[in-house]
Amino acid sequence: MRIESARVIVTCPGRNFVTLKIFTDQGVYGIGDGTLNGRETAVVAYLEDHVIPCLIGMDPRRIEDIWQYLYRGAYWRRGPVTMRAIAAVDMALWDIKAKMAGMPLYQLLGGRSRDGVMVYGHANGSDIGETVEAVGHYIDMGYKAIRAQTGVPGIKDAYGVGRGKLYYEPADAALPSVTGWDTRKALNYVPKLFEELRKTYGFDHHLLHDGHHRYTPQEAANLGKMLEPYQLFWLEDCTPAENQEAFKLVRQHTVTPLAVGEIFNTIWDAKDLIQNQLIDYIRTTVVGAGGITHLRRIADLASLYQIRTGCHGATDLSPVTMGCALHFDTWVPNFGIQEYMRHTEETDEVFPHDYRFDKGELFVGETPGHGVDIDEELAAKYPYKPAYLPVARLEDGTMWNW
């Protein structure tokens, strides 16, 4: 069996997605996701110019060897573009292998560890009142876990407060728009949100919050301490993680669970955080970390330290990644939770899939492979549209982390 050809499909049914389709000489094909929000064209170029030519003639069943070839064989390795391209190949190869076996992907990974996958949705509002109402809407939809974000008085376009209630999409312009930030205002306001949420809905539901890399370690520790009475499921991305040791300071001052990793590309980005038990959840994604092959290694390392998975699952990842993530979640022993931002109806039509939502959980189907396909004819009706994520500046104009 050999890889006969491969092609990249870029489509924008509401947002941009990069899909790799690999064909074999036996008529079996697989698809993978290489989407990188705002840098889609870089991944496309890397796939078309540097990856696909190397794949032709290879045995698609040799998933591990091909992964090592693409990673170790590239002297300039790691980084988001390279790892997304490798992830696209890896997902497609696992799809092919599972189809050949006539099994859903989770069976090849080792079978079920659970029946359903608990997911969390995104509730947001321009102020506390709107967010409290939005959380109630998610509870009514059956969610057991909800991430709550609120606008903060005096801050322009606070992170997490999107233009829609179900389809939050931050990439909003052909050039980056500018948002604002003020840490003191956020620290004075965010704990009030969770106080009101617990007063309104009690403690039966899991609540999460995303700091989105906005706080220094001391500020993050302060926020975590103030949120302790409200028993958060986690505080996400409380401080930038380039310096992994920064989490030591946070950990020393709060018992609020910590989650990080959606922008990580390899196990090396998380190694110290995991080995020193500075986090409780690792959020690395199938597409961000070079596919299922590499994400398994990260999860296995985390399991040694009782750290659980909480994979990123925003709409900047296509249903292909979501399908792969759910098969991974169904198998992985140290599962914690899965982020689930609903795609638009247009996206779901372009990427038909067999996973389904019910009572706060997602369930994978029994379709051989990862259960997600692409309607290329429909995809062609949604051409690529350049779209950047925003940037953030402090009130004095200083650039900050978005």
- Residues with a catalytic annotation lie at 159, 212
Burial class of 172 by CB neighbour count within 10 A (0 to 12, 13 to 18, 19+): middle
What is the DSSP annotation of 146-193?
A: EEEEE--TT-TT-TT--SSSS------BSS--EEEE-HHHHHHHHHHH
Helix (H) or strand (E) holding 43: helix 40-46
Angle at 21 (CA atoms; ends 322, 261), nearest 5 degrees: 35
Q: Helices 292-303 and 80-101, interaxial angle, to 10°? A: 100
The residue among 67, 54, 45, 6 whose CA lies nearest residue 297 is 67
CA 77, chain centre distance (Å): 21
3-state secondary structure of 341: coil
C-alpha pair distances (Å), 62 with each of 52, 270, 363: 16, 27, 28
Backbone angle region of 261, left / alpha / beta, with phi > 0 → left and psi within -120 to 50 → alpha:
left
What whole-number distance in Å separates Cα of residue 67 and Cα of residue 89?
8
Token readout for 33 is: 């996701």
Contact 362, 116 (CB under 8 A): yes
Contact 62, 36 (CB under 8 A): no
What whole-number distance in Å separates Cα of residue 260 and Cα of residue 283?
5
The residue among 289, 103, 117, 131 whose CA lies nearest residue 208 is 131
Task: Kindly tell me the sign of the dihedral angle through the C-alpha atoms of 360, 365, 371, 373.
Answer: negative
The residue among 178, 128, 173 whose CA lies nearest residue 150 is 128
Q: Give, as one character, the DSSP assignment of residue 117.
A: E
Rg for the chain, CA atoms, rounded: 20
Token readout for 171 is: 């990439």
